[in-house]
Amino acid sequence: MDIDTFIERWEGSGGSERANFQSFANDLCDVLGVERPKPATEEASADAYRFERPVTMQHTGTQSHGFIDLYRAGHFVMEAKQGVAAKSALADRPVSSIGAHRI
């Protein structure tokens, strides 16, 4: 997929973050020419590059359980926030000047 096709496909997305994020991230990997995340295994702690990696969070003496939307050990975590409200602020700027933004 080329960058123009990627932008056209995703510029009008809305609705559910959960419904769109994995497809968006896979398309982004294709545009960047990097491998896609691997399927999850039964041993989450051994999964170095996956969607929905389970985590335990500490909150001032309490614990809660959650998930990282996309995790790659030693590289990044990616949390998605769905919405199109920010699109209008970026619409007139060239892609090369936009940089990293939540989509």
Give the global pTM: 0.72
6-64 pLDDT per residue, tens: 999 998 887 777 889 999 999 999 999 999 999 999 998 899 999 999 999 998 889 99
CA nearest neighbour of 101 among 15, 73, 89: 89
The partner residues of 65 in beta bridges, in order of sequence, read 56
Tokens found for residue 30? 């294709």
Of the candidates 42, 64, 65, 66, the one whose C-alpha atom is nearest the C-alpha of residue 52 is 66
Domain ranges of the chain: 3-98
**pLDDT tens-digit map of 25-36:** 999 999 999 999
Which among 33, 36, 35, 31 is positioned nearest to 1, based on CA atoms?
31
